[in-house]
Structure 1
Amino acid sequence: MPTYVVFGKRYYTLKSSAGFVERGIASWYGPQFHGKKTSNGEVFDMNRISAAHPTLPLPTYVRVTNLETGKQIVVRVNDRGPFKKNRVIDLSKAAATKLGIIAKGTGLVEVRAIDPGRPGQEPPKPQPIHGDLFIQVGAYGDPANARAMQGRILSQLGQKARIVPPAGSGRALYRVQVGPYKSVEETDTQAARISGMGIETYIIIQ
């Protein structure tokens, strides 16, 4: 499996994009990289629809849905990034404008890999959300460990954390999540505080 390192973190690229779906925070990039080469050797044009993703094969087509408005676009991933913590995809300026996140700078999205050669295979359109953001700080097979992390968050951060019990038929994990938060900015601030405690964070869209 091909790997690469950016800012001291190792990324493992996927062999296939089949079945890939994720939700998280999208950002966009533009003038600083305009005219420079992308990770697959093409020239980045911020005024064209494209995107960067840290692990999807290059190129991959994805359907990006703005979960706050329901607006959708299809973009071709031809670059690596974003490398800011808790971001799932970097859109070109044109793509961010079309998706409606250019003014805010970020947006809550679903990213779903598609095969442009297979029309008529579209899944149901995700329903727009107006919910909350949570910061996941751990997932444990032993509920006692989850409770210990819950107590640590309360004692060191002064915030309550919830424990989400296992669901489905997969591995039984008790997930510890802090929140809810109403904005990306607030979530980023709190995630940075938690990371400063030496805890790995992952932002969850409720």
Structure 2
Amino acid sequence: MRQPRSRPDRARSPLTAALAAVLATGLLAGCASTRGLESPNRGTTQRGLASWYGAKFHGRPTASGEIYDMNRISAAHKQLPLGTVVLVKNRDNGKKLRVPINDRGPFIKGRIIDLSVAAARQLEMFGQGLANVRIKVVRLPPKKRQLPISYPARGWRDSKPNRDRGSGFTIQAGAFRKRSSAVALARRLRRELDLDNVKVTRGRGVHRVQIERRRKQAADDVLQRLKDAGIAAFLVG
């Protein structure tokens, strides 16, 4: 019995072959991206969400052994070697800042870097809490680690937690008829803005959300942070 003649394979066009090569290269690059962060070169980049961490961790040791100071420029990253310096660009507003990595984190899906309070302030994303960023490795860590890894902040310093309690200056962040509304705002200030010494007071049927600071500079810092978060606060006294 005569066998049917098989159809010869069509030769791929140069355009098809080139497209296949590009796709293969892209797939290989994607597979190597994680390893690139663990052993980066200058110019290695990554995009994603940035967050910040503050008073809860202030004064605690970081993964590098340096004590975390939220008033200095530093950040946490899950993979980059400790001591690496990255250029962080806030893609929402164009602000850029060189930030050294001295800790591990963030451990929330979708976030790639956790900034100190000072770094978040200078990138103007403190009030929002999160920002779309692009990070680029600009300096590799030295062979012998030297502390501190963090940088001093320029032009701004937050009040350190638990050192500025008192009744010298009172900032009012809101006033409500319902106590539940005042309590909700107070919780938001503690959770999202990392503020301490927030209290709810009552007088003449109005529930007020107030923050106390001993020094004028610290009170001004709180006012600015509230303004950045879109809260119309003012100084009571």
**Given the two structures, how large is their TM-score scaled by the length of structure 2?**
0.43
More strand by percentage: 1
Higher Rg: 2
More helix by percentage: 2
